[in-house]
Structure 1
Amino acid sequence: MQRRIFLSRSLTLCAALPVLRLDLQPHMPEWLVTLVKQNDLGVASLLNYQVKDENSENLGGLRDSFDILNPHSTAALVQWGTCAVFSPKSRFYQSEELLSAMNLAVMYLLKTQHSDGTIDLLSTNFHSTPDTGFLVKRLAIAYSLLKKSAAPGAGKVMDNLKTFLLRCGEALIVGGIHTPNHRWVVSAVLARLNQLWPDPKYAARAEQWLSEHIDLDADGQYNEKSTFIYSSLSDRLLITISNSFKKTGLLQYVRKNLDMTMYYVHPNGEIVTDASGRQDKAVVGTLENYYYPYRYLAVYDKNGQYAAMCTMIEKTAGLKIAGYLDYLLDDPALWAELPVAKPVPVNFVKAFPNSGLVRIRRDQWDATLIANNPVWLTFMKGSAVLQGIRFASSFFGKGQFVSEKLDADGPGWKLTQKLEGPYYQPYPKDYIPTDGDWEKMPRYFRPQSEVQKLETIISIKEIEHGMEITIKTRGTERVPAALELIFRPGGTLHSVSKLDQTKDTWLLGDTMGTYTLNGDQISFGPGKALHKNVALRGALPPMDAPTVFITGFTPFSHTIRLT
């Protein structure tokens, strides 16, 4: 970051209280003011994209990056604009011009809202209850902040926003969902609406979803294992439901997930995403999405480890925390000084069997072992990142290595894959179709012969300052194989040979290679390069990243070290 963001937290408060009246905390701490200033930049940008032509049927709407007018971009102006109108340190504080633009945005939302109360997510979902919930989740906070702001001119926005929200509520008490977290989205939104405009139907519908029980496993992970997006979302939603419906027992799930997440942090402040079952799988992400849950429970529980996580997120995610400014403004109890920090785990070996994952961290380096995934190991040392290792063979076009299990094996772990490649005999004579149609002669009715077999065992163990990996195969011989080391772009590779006519593909011979970025270095090898076929049939396509290959033939037996 260019400058320190969180300079002081000078105000104190009885941390046991999760909610505080605004008039008892009239001055925002400097760290929060910094986020308000960042939000101002977002508001100014959004205003440039709003349709202002009074003769346009799209008056008030905002476009997305594909130049499509949509309710989500439009709602963002209301959400971010409310934070600015509410905050005395904002350049838009109680701005009548901004309130007018926000009102146009709400009017556009009303125009695009379906008669059943839903809105569309134009990229994929239509008449969508859950996407309506995602929108209302933040707009309900906006309504609360507008009410607290007492800004002249806010009444018109609030009246129209109330109309929109109540119509959404009618959809939320009957509509269906797609994914596990949608249940908590809808429940949290109904909880918010019930706080604003109490209605037994809101509570009853939320209870229907909540009766399915919270989908948290023994590891502390939600069903979708989406560490960057949906786990933190579920944490925020359960806090909302706990507050609004007085269900404090739900906080136990949030605590368990936050406790687990401390072991999912890379030394550079990124979060492990390799086991995710959603669109954030293997993305590079920091922990800004967890800031509100960690801060809420740091204050509520006086938890020093959660306070330390907040400080770490402030340093590594920085101004991205401003994406949750509305949550922070809506609960002034969170403006208080955090409790005294306590150390968080930075030196451990921790298994998460429900996620098929093992985490190893030794302060400034770490490794992640992953089952049921073509990328089965990552290794990070500061800025130097080996973002994945894969292994494949050209065995009947299905030789991409994936192990269903990650088993403990003495001092280390083991991944195993067993493959078969059969040939097929003539179809049973009495069942041959008269038209000779191949599709009417399923393979599973044909006798098999000459069945080829290939077993691959990958053994992994920790060594001093790093990891050792041994790959062994047995079975069919002379099958071309390749071990693939995929590095994060931006660094420099040494002691490797570039493959001709490739963008960023390299071979490692019988030596050690290095990858260096910002003074941090990963040493890897030794290698071997018995062939140059790195696009094996049946293997996954190469990633758009610097990739080093070690190649050979079965029986393949090779050990490499990462330090």
Structure 2
Amino acid sequence: MMQSIRFKVLLTAIESFIKNALNVQVKDELNSDYGGFRCPDHLVCEPWSAINTFATIAIIFLNPKSRYYHSSELLKSMKMALQFIKRSINDDGSMNVYFWGEIRTKSTLPFVLNTLMKSYRLLAKHNIDDGLINDLGTLIKRCIEVVKSCPIENSTQGLTIASALIDFDKLFFDRSASDKAISYLFDRVDINHDGMYGGKSLSISMLSNAMLLNIAKKLNRPYMIDYVRRNLNFVLHNFRQDGGFALDYMINAGMDYTKPLEYSVWKEMSIIDHNGYYATAGDMLVSSFINSMENGYINYRPNMPHVNNSFRDHSRFFLTSNIGEFLLVEDELNNEGVSRLSLPSNYVKTFIDSNIARFKNGKMNAILMTESENLFSLENGQAVISHFRIKYKYYGYHIFMPKKLEIAGGSYILRDWFYHNKDSENIVGISQANLIIQVEFVYKHDHFEVLVSATGEKGIAFLLEFGIKKIGTLSIDNKEHILGNADLIPMDGKEATIKVGSDIIKICGGIVQHKIYCDKSLWVRDIRNVNIVMTPITPFSNRFNIFWK
């Protein structure tokens, strides 16, 4: 029953996107973008969007429950879109992307090739228009020849190429493609014991999972599924109650363009392992996606705290264009027989190999991490500290980025040290460092106690910076600030209260001993957030607390 209801909701959402796509498609044959879909946000026709939209149109065109089933308008749209796609992929396999301005790149070809073959498989299976199928097949063959000679930039790209070559063999009976695919596979995948892939990106992780599942099934390599299982168990601890993801480096590291792939991975693995947690995760993910739809597009609203600000700079059309694949997953996979299990809502989880600690208490999510300038983030509902970072001025400007998370009793410790003369042959350890920095977090039932200390050379200026999402209000020193209008606020032993509706975070303590941060040429601020700063000078031991209500 749940699957049939979700199918209807998805169908409605996809049809609303199709209506938008038809409205923005360039139909003037004299226009160089003829057949493309002009993004209403960026006013460009992006090839990757067109490839995704072509697949979504094909899926809806072939679905008998859709009002667009076998629509002549959609068939014409697919033919126009394919002409644009063919013109957009150059002979060397490069294509233009517009995520951060116009960039010509080959790196996207393996990813879009998987989508093109998915479209070909559907259209060929239903024998829809020989001319369209032949044109698409010719394009795929041209792209495959380019992909065979592509240098491997990272393990995910290697897996994606291997998966594409295997699928090409299945579609076009080219054994040499599968043989080539095997040469891209290695005995080990770039994933640590915790289940974190080397790319440290949720999107890249799920791409890797999807490719590994495909390869495991088609080459009969079941051991590859264990990598997927390990990563999913890692990601499970990053879910929010509404199906989004808690703030951390995994969200900030990449664009959120793989939702249908993520859904297919959760759903298929729930069937393979009969795992109720995976099934629940998939349900939450697709519900979150549907809830973010507005007027036929994904709409990342300002009151969605878990969304990386940079996503709002990306095209809504692009991020919605592969929505049709959700329906394909619903058609091909049924996990109604898997009993759902509620995801854990109260835990402390430490990932030793990844140097990450995650904390969850109801709607409070927090993460502590190393090897990142963002050491800590916390969200309590919609009230959000998106980052806590430490900067200091000592023979230049530096950011505190410790390499290891140490755990002692109930304390989580980050430390690093700085040598003025790094080339000295006489330096043998921390005892000879010019500057020693230590941060200690202690987790309580309703707050974190934080102690930041720096010893060694005297008179070094530090900046302890909290990035607060520009949502709600901030009260400090009997003054209330509208966060949407604020910029930088120093606090000196006072209490800062962040409030969004009934969601509250309080920061208590801290000292202000200098105002170097006022010089914008010296300190680089994150203008997407309100910055609350503490500014001690060495030597210091600065204690403060972070409460949530």
Displacement, 1:283? 8.1
- Of the three residues 499, 519, 531, the one matched with 1:516 is 499
1:550 aligns with 2:534: yes
Question: What residue is the counterpart of 1:91 in the other structure?
Answer: 67
Tell me: CA distance 1:377–1:234, structure 2 relative to 1, closer, same or farther (3 Å).
same
- Of the three residues 110, 114, 137, the one matched with 1:137 is 114
Alignment of 1:286-301 (within 5 A): 290-301=262-273
Question: What residue is the counterpart of 2:436 in the other structure?
Answer: 455
Question: What residue is the counterpart of 2:81 in the other structure?
Answer: 105
* 1:132 alignment partner AA: L
1:303 aligns with 2:279: no
Q: Name the SS of the counterpart of 1:88 in structure 2.
A: coil
Determine if contact 1:273/1:283 at 8 Å carries over to the other structure: no
Cα distance in 1 for partners of 2:190, 2:433 equals 42
Question: What residue is the counterpart of 1:474 in the other structure?
Answer: 455
Displacement, 1:207? 0.3
Cα distance in 1 for partners of 2:32, 2:531 equals 51
Q: Name the SS of the counterpart of 2:156 in structure 1.
A: helix
- Of the three residues 204, 207, 211, the one matched with 1:233 is 207
Determine if contact 1:99/1:157 at 8 Å carries over to the other structure: no
Displacement, 1:402? 1.9
Cα distance in 2 for partners of 1:283, 1:539 equals 27
Determine if contact 1:63/1:73 at 8 Å carries over to the other structure: no
Q: Name the SS of the counterpart of 1:373 in structure 2.
A: coil
Displacement, 1:73? 2.9
Displacement, 1:206? 0.9
Q: Which moved more, 1:201-210 or 1:480-489?
A: 480-489
Tell me: CA distance 1:281–1:373, structure 2 relative to 1, closer, same or farther (3 Å).
same
* 2:188 alignment partner AA: H
Q: Name the SS of the counterpart of 1:457 in structure 2.
A: strand
Tell me: CA distance 1:393–1:281, structure 2 relative to 1, closer, same or farther (3 Å).
same
CA deviations on 1:426-459 (whole Å, 9 max, x unpaired) are: xxxxxxxxxxxxxxxxx979999xx992211111
Question: What residue is the counterpart of 1:425 in the other structure?
Answer: none
Q: Which moved more, 1:464-473 or 1:99-108?
A: 99-108
CA deviations on 1:124-159 (whole Å, 9 max, x unpaired) are: 76572x4222111112111222234455xx333212
Displacement, 1:68? 4.2
CA deviations on 1:487-509 (whole Å, 9 max, x unpaired) are: 1111211124699xx94211223
* 1:548 alignment partner AA: I
Q: CA RMSD in A?
A: 3.1
Alignment of 1:29-428 (within 5 A): 29-56=4-31, 58-64=33-39, 66-115=42-91, 118-122=93-97, 126=104, 128=106, 130-149=107-126, 154-211=129-186, 213-227=188-202, 229-272=203-246, 274-276=248-250, 280-281=252-253, 290-318=262-290, 323-326=322-325, 328-329=327-328, 332-421=331-420
Displacement, 1:288? 6.5
* 1:9 alignment partner AA: M
Tell me: CA distance 1:200–1:180, structure 2 relative to 1, closer, same or farther (3 Å).
same
Cα distance in 2 for partners of 1:234, 1:414 equals 32
> Aligned pair count?
507
Q: Name the SS of the counterpart of 2:389 in structure 1.
A: strand
Tell me: CA distance 1:255–1:158, structure 2 relative to 1, closer, same or farther (3 Å).
same
Question: What residue is the counterpart of 1:20 in the other structure?
Answer: none
CA deviations on 1:159-187 (whole Å, 9 max, x unpaired) are: 21111112222222332232221011111
Tell me: CA distance 1:127–1:514, structure 2 relative to 1, closer, same or farther (3 Å).
closer
Determine if contact 2:97/2:105 at 8 Å carries over to the other structure: no
Cα distance in 2 for partners of 1:476, 1:384 equals 37
Tell me: CA distance 1:213–1:52, structure 2 relative to 1, closer, same or farther (3 Å).
same
1:485 aligns with 2:462: no
* 2:122 alignment partner AA: L
- Percent of aligned pairs with the same amino acid: 22
Determine if contact 1:120/1:126 at 8 Å carries over to the other structure: yes
Cα distance in 2 for partners of 1:284, 1:76 equals 14
CA deviations on 1:29-77 (whole Å, 9 max, x unpaired) are: 2312321221222222222333322344543234455444443233233
Cα distance in 2 for partners of 1:446, 1:245 equals 53
Determine if contact 2:240/2:365 at 8 Å carries over to the other structure: yes
Cα distance in 2 for partners of 1:452, 1:247 equals 50
Q: Name the SS of the counterpart of 1:48 in structure 2.
A: helix
CA deviations on 1:69-95 (whole Å, 9 max, x unpaired) are: 443233233111112102223232111
Displacement, 1:559? 0.9
* 1:364 alignment partner AA: K
1:9 aligns with 2:2: yes
Displacement, 1:413? 1.4
Cα distance in 2 for partners of 1:283, 1:498 equals 34
Cα distance in 1 for partners of 2:96, 2:247 equals 25
Cα distance in 1 for partners of 2:261, 2:407 equals 32
Determine if contact 1:479/1:553 at 8 Å carries over to the other structure: yes
Cα distance in 1 for partners of 2:454, 2:282 equals 46
Cα distance in 2 for partners of 1:349, 1:92 equals 49
Q: Which moved more, 1:171-180 or 1:98-107?
A: 171-180
Determine if contact 1:181/1:230 at 8 Å carries over to the other structure: yes
Structure 1 unpaired stretches of 5+:
1-7, 11-28, 423-442
Determine if contact 2:490/2:533 at 8 Å carries over to the other structure: yes
Displacement, 1:522? 0.7
Q: Name the SS of the counterpart of 2:507 in structure 1.
A: strand
* 2:530 alignment partner AA: P
Structure 2 unpaired stretches of 5+:
294-319
Displacement, 1:100? 1.4
Determine if contact 1:269/1:287 at 8 Å carries over to the other structure: no
Q: Name the SS of the counterpart of 2:471 in structure 1.
A: coil
Tell me: CA distance 1:283–1:419, structure 2 relative to 1, closer, same or farther (3 Å).
farther
Tell me: CA distance 1:115–1:290, structure 2 relative to 1, closer, same or farther (3 Å).
closer
Q: Name the SS of the counterpart of 1:546 in structure 2.
A: strand
TM-score of the pair, normalised by structure 2 = 0.84
Displacement, 1:266? 3.8
Cα distance in 1 for partners of 2:185, 2:263 equals 24
Could you say which structure has the larger radius of gyration?
1
